[in-house]
Structure 1
């Protein structure tokens, strides 16, 4: 990808999206079907989005040339960096379609997405890897998937209760987490889209939770008390950046993970991963709102399997294969609160986890050694504690803005005890870690006829510690993080335009040290980027 050509393409496309955003179009309207006198209602919405991302700096040798894993695996974590020179790193078209059919008591919903990214369908900029790996090209470059696909029933249960039951592919979220769902109760409810989270820092956790096949229900017993429960029929991985993709920092983790080459000249292939079973995931919640108060309390319990790799196994003596391992049967309980006071909403949650995978280094599996993701796991396990505290503040109209909001969340975790494989625990981790994320978005209404603007400004940082309880999920570095600033425009409630700059700050360094432990340095320090998009729904 030639730098000057990429810059010219980016500039032309940015101007084109700005022009499109200003076109005089009619108000948005979904496609609604006339079903005559039937009580059923049908609606079909389609969203088309075109986006670009441009890398602002070239590769930093302090990151790309760092030795890793004792020198056994040179460039194990730099291919995502090497594959992209300064210039265009994404040129993407997304289509999202959703269909809803419902009556007062019954209904169904189906949604799906398709995408094509021209950058991932061409050669890389690296001299080490000419083409993207197949799985990476599919995940980032060209694919389609069904998202929601469920039926539901709702209505009276008995004389005074109201209930809703859903069956099929859908998502749900328990607890009060805003940004740090991986540190909260919501970590149990499903896989998440980490690619989207890294691409748009400040994305709320509810927006990246992915649907899975499950049955879930909610029963409103009375205005003060409700209960809910779910059971999942399948396990799915989280969407991690594909190996060699722009925001990937460890080539051995995520879709598309390929072969590694040792200093001895031999090849270590990605073998068959040890995935979690489909059964054994479910949970329940109780929500209680004391009468005549703004307070709402929640109580939760769940069992789930890890959606991101809990460890890596290296088979010896041949060094022939490595495998990603996903932990099973993690148990969690928790409680939450939410209350309002004037323009503020305050919320928080606390939870405990048992049989939880801890941040571990690569484990060697000798011939005949039992190694799985359950009773014979080789990665460290333990008991952990987690707290998330958050607030939402609605900005009052004044001379500086017409409205908007400020959202903030503070997250903390602690490893209470190591119950299994203490020697596998990453030696560079600490018992406690604390992180903070803030998103402020002042808004300006009717700046011109039909045009609303907002200015999102985000900041996220790991304040202290190197978490041994949570791998990545906002805790992947220490005294480092990201900040961003952008501009969003909505025209006639139909066209959306946005431009955003993202900076990764902190001590730069590769994600892994020479001894194979995590460095907790900023492995994305040279990958600042600016992105632009235009989107419409019809």
Structure 2
């Protein structure tokens, strides 16, 4: 379930611009040269520390790529590309993150964090293709954004993030540490978003895909959203540690919502009200999602082993979890009346092994994992009337295999730059046994893909994808000013993955940027961000695409971000 808003009435108010502007003014006064970078409270006890950090981020973005009219003429995708025209502001957003940490004897304590945001680029109205029939079939009733989309895109709004206590005891000579409350864990070795979606940490916590789509190349761990849970870790010996996790809450991924600038399809996910099907079928209304139980469904165990002879760390993992990405069901509930629901499967088992090792100054990571009874790719499904029981998806489910290898390194000073950091990750996925819903598995050789191929999204036996980042840096270009030029690229190299958002051939994104650090306190980033992909068309509209994010290929935008912590 979504975290509660920090406030209610004022967060929904139409005077939100004035509120955000006042907040920004107060914060900028705080950031005057005499301001401190963080609040360190004098508790009067050397064993007790209290720290309060606040991060202010302002983002301005402008659409610089012209609309692809074939995407704009596609009934499931017109609203995203028509939400803003070329040259319009697609983000005018202020974010504030506040973090409070209390620590006693460096072993016990608590942490609380909260976030707030406001984006003046979004108003209350959605937009569609102005020509018939599109203008009369919006996914938002009366072309008004739903309360959900209004909250998470325009605001002003906020939410609690971390809220946990931690502590430890020694059992004999074994130190045991635990956390209880809302926090996140990240197991395995994956680096980028595609690695996470095919890795051991998949669905360990929900990801903020809304943020991930807007910032290609961001590390996967930065996208993790905390959930209520109990986690423990014990250092059994000098070379062996064990960890456990028990979830007390379930929450789906946060998605780029339909009808917003980076929403690839109009009907997905939790924001839109409906989707037009065809005449005479009319609209399918969005129904309530079928979600797993909040607790008792998820947990995991891991062990990490670092013997001297290995000169690295090996990990073994087992997790039982509920999916946080949905399958979509279309249900005929009466003559001319349809409904679609998001169904989240439970009772998935994951087994994994990882290895991390430094070789020649380069940090290597690798994983292999197996998912039992996981949801497989499907089209929007037609089923009998009635919503499936919690976690009981009647779509295709089966076994999948996943692997990745990555490397992180640093390039020393050259004639071109002072230093450079780089990272690369290669991911692989394959499907094994299809355990149920074979007639709905959207894969080559199965009924839904008869007469179709991988360029229309059909799953192939194997998938390979890659992610790259390279960031050269120049220090003290001017007194107190460092420069960097981050570059990222992610793309599917071969085939289509068997799971939702697992990856598609030719589908990806890239960013080119320039970063400025001022006195290591103020950060400015200018980036161009765009998407790539392949689709088929009839000369007027898209008829099929290899991955839904292909429908973002006309959404190139220029983004300027300012960030500081105080």
Whether the TM-score (by the shorter chain) exceeds 0.5 is yes
Alignment partners' CA distance in 2, 1:41 and 1:419: 54
What pairs up with 1:113-192 in 2 under 5 angstroms? 113-126=115-128, 127=130, 128=135, 130-142=143-155, 143-159=157-173, 161-179=174-192, 180-192=195-207
In structure 2, relative to structure 1, the CA distance for the partners of 1:93 and 1:390 (3 Å cut) is same
1:254 to 253, 256, 269: 269
Alignment partners' CA distance in 1, 2:292 and 2:501: 20
Q: Larger relative CO (CA 8 A, sep 6+): 1 or 2?
A: 1
In structure 2, relative to structure 1, the CA distance for the partners of 1:517 and 1:303 (3 Å cut) is farther
Alignment RMSD: 2.2
User: Residue 122 of structure 1: CA displacement?
Assistant: 4.7
Q: Tell me the secondary structure at the aligned position of residue 119 of structure 1.
A: coil
Equivalent in the alignment of 2:307 = 290
Q: Tell me the secondary structure at the aligned position of residue 461 of structure 1.
A: strand
> Quick check: 1:44 aligned with 2:52?
yes
Equivalent in the alignment of 2:318 = 301
Alignment partners' CA distance in 1, 2:343 and 2:543: 20
Q: Is the 8 A contact 1:80 1:244 kept in 2?
A: yes
Q: Deviations over 1:68-96 (max 9, x none)?
A: xxxxxxx2233111211112111100010
Q: Is the 8 A contact 1:316 1:364 kept in 2?
A: no
> Quick check: 1:266 aligned with 2:279?
no
In structure 2, relative to structure 1, the CA distance for the partners of 1:27 and 1:440 (3 Å cut) is farther
> Quick check: 1:526 aligned with 2:554?
yes
Q: Is the 8 A contact 1:63 1:508 kept in 2?
A: no
**If the length of structure 2 is used for normalisation, what is the TM-score?**
0.84
User: Residue 123 of structure 1: CA displacement?
Assistant: 3.5
Equivalent in the alignment of 1:447 = 477
Alignment partners' CA distance in 2, 1:38 and 1:28: 21
**If the length of structure 1 is used for normalisation, what is the TM-score?**
0.89
Alignment partners' CA distance in 2, 1:514 and 1:49: 37
In structure 2, relative to structure 1, the CA distance for the partners of 1:24 and 1:139 (3 Å cut) is closer
Alignment partners' CA distance in 2, 1:462 and 1:46: 38
Q: Is the 8 A contact 2:77 2:265 kept in 1?
A: yes
In structure 1, stretches of 5+ residues that fail to align are: 1-19, 67-74
Alignment partners' CA distance in 2, 1:370 and 1:191: 24
Q: Is the 8 A contact 1:336 1:349 kept in 2?
A: yes
Alignment partners' CA distance in 2, 1:157 and 1:79: 59
Alignment partners' CA distance in 2, 1:48 and 1:297: 38
Equivalent in the alignment of 1:479 = 506
Q: Deviations over 1:10-48 (max 9, x none)?
A: xxxxxxxxxx9xx99468521011111352100000111
What pairs up with 1:76-475 in 2 under 5 angstroms? 76-86=76-86, 87-104=88-105, 105-126=107-128, 127=130, 128=135, 130-142=143-155, 143-159=157-173, 161-179=174-192, 180-261=195-276, 262-264=278-280, 266-279=282-295, 280-318=297-335, 319-367=337-385, 371-372=388-389, 374-375=391-392, 377-426=393-442, 427=449, 428-468=458-498, 470-473=499-502, 475=503
Alignment partners' CA distance in 1, 2:257 and 2:387: 29
In structure 2, stretches of 5+ residues that fail to align are: 1-27, 443-448, 450-457
User: Residue 402 of structure 1: CA displacement?
Assistant: 1.6
Q: Deviations over 1:307-361 (max 9, x none)?
A: 1112323234433321111111111000000000232011100000011000011
Q: Tell me the secondary structure at the aligned position of residue 187 of structure 1.
A: coil
Alignment partners' CA distance in 1, 2:98 and 2:547: 41
Aligned length: 501
Q: Is the 8 A contact 2:290 2:388 kept in 1?
A: no
Which deviates more, 206-215 or 303-312? 303-312
User: Residue 263 of structure 1: CA displacement?
Assistant: 2.0
In structure 2, relative to structure 1, the CA distance for the partners of 1:531 and 1:117 (3 Å cut) is same
Q: Tell me the secondary structure at the aligned position of residue 121 of structure 2.
A: helix
User: Residue 366 of structure 1: CA displacement?
Assistant: 2.3
User: Residue 289 of structure 1: CA displacement?
Assistant: 0.4
In structure 2, relative to structure 1, the CA distance for the partners of 1:379 and 1:96 (3 Å cut) is same
Alignment partners' CA distance in 2, 1:451 and 1:370: 58
Q: Tell me the secondary structure at the aligned position of residue 552 of structure 2.
A: coil
User: Residue 498 of structure 1: CA displacement?
Assistant: 0.5
Q: Is the 8 A contact 1:195 1:240 kept in 2?
A: yes
Alignment partners' CA distance in 2, 1:243 and 1:519: 15
In structure 2, relative to structure 1, the CA distance for the partners of 1:246 and 1:479 (3 Å cut) is same
In structure 2, relative to structure 1, the CA distance for the partners of 1:60 and 1:449 (3 Å cut) is same
User: Residue 131 of structure 1: CA displacement?
Assistant: 3.2
Alignment partners' CA distance in 1, 2:35 and 2:535: 47
Q: Is the 8 A contact 2:262 2:552 kept in 1?
A: yes
In structure 2, relative to structure 1, the CA distance for the partners of 1:417 and 1:293 (3 Å cut) is closer
Equivalent in the alignment of 2:20 = none
Alignment partners' CA distance in 2, 1:328 and 1:442: 44
Equivalent in the alignment of 2:72 = 64
Equivalent in the alignment of 1:535 = 563
Q: Deviations over 1:207-247 (max 9, x none)?
A: 10110000001111122000000000110011101221111
Q: Is the 8 A contact 2:96 2:117 kept in 1?
A: yes
Q: Tell me the secondary structure at the aligned position of residue 71 of structure 2.
A: helix
Alignment partners' CA distance in 1, 2:93 and 2:343: 31
User: Residue 514 of structure 1: CA displacement?
Assistant: 8.4
In structure 2, relative to structure 1, the CA distance for the partners of 1:207 and 1:118 (3 Å cut) is same
Q: Tell me the secondary structure at the aligned position of residue 210 of structure 2.
A: helix
User: Residue 447 of structure 1: CA displacement?
Assistant: 1.4
